[in-house]
Amino acid sequence: CRAVHHGHPPWITASAASPGGVACRLYRGAAAPAGTVVYFHGGGFVVGGLESHDDICAEIAAATGLAVVSVDYRLAPEHPHPAAFDDALGATRAVAADCDGPLLLAGDSAGGNLAAAVAHRLRGAAPAVAGQVLIYPGLGGDRGAGSYLRHAHAPLLSSADSAWYAAIRHPGGQEPSRPAP
């Protein structure tokens, strides 16, 4: 990530925050934001963090004029499921309590999974989630069919890699069942 880091636009500031007791980084422009994006990084629930997605979050803040809160959720294997979800939900609730304007959830890969799961948990309740941006989210599926087969040997994330990440996140192979619609 450091090799491809583009830095921040000069008008974007980044500062440490800890909504809900979860380490986060807040990105803001000079003007008052019209809303807030809570961003969850990718990395298979095993790698990634505030540094790996630093310039992405700064870019989102610069392009949208929204505040962006990047959540540094706990990672497996030291913190197995549902630790990442608990951090994502706790941080989102705390951010929502302090933000003015719409609340949006976003994330890539594992972070897309967290954004979708948090939005699902909060549906019909406060805080209201105005929308979500899911960037190639990891939302499950049959690992013996579809893109798991078509892209089984894809660079950076093969089907074997996906299975490895799942095994690390869910020790003993016990993946949780899907939530009710």
**Average model confidence (pLDDT) across the chain:** 89
Q: pLDDT tens digits, residue range 144-178?
A: 888 888 888 888 778 887 777 778 777 765 555 54
Write down the pTM of the prediction: 0.89
Q: In the prediction, which pLDDT does 150 show?
A: 87
Three-state DSSP class for residue 171: helix
Mean pLDDT, residues 119-146 taken together: 89
The tokens for 131 are 């929308």
Predicted confidence band of residue 181 (pLDDT cuts 50, 70, 90): very low
Segment 78-117, tens digit of pLDDT: 999 999 999 999 999 999 999 889 999 999 999 999 999 9
CA neighbor of 104 nearest in space, from 61, 138, 51: 61
Which stretch of 3-7, 23-27, 31-35, 135-139 has the lowest confidence by average pLDDT? 3-7
| Centroid of chain to Cα 119 | 12
Q: Which of 19, 38, 43 is nearest to 27 (CA)?
A: 38
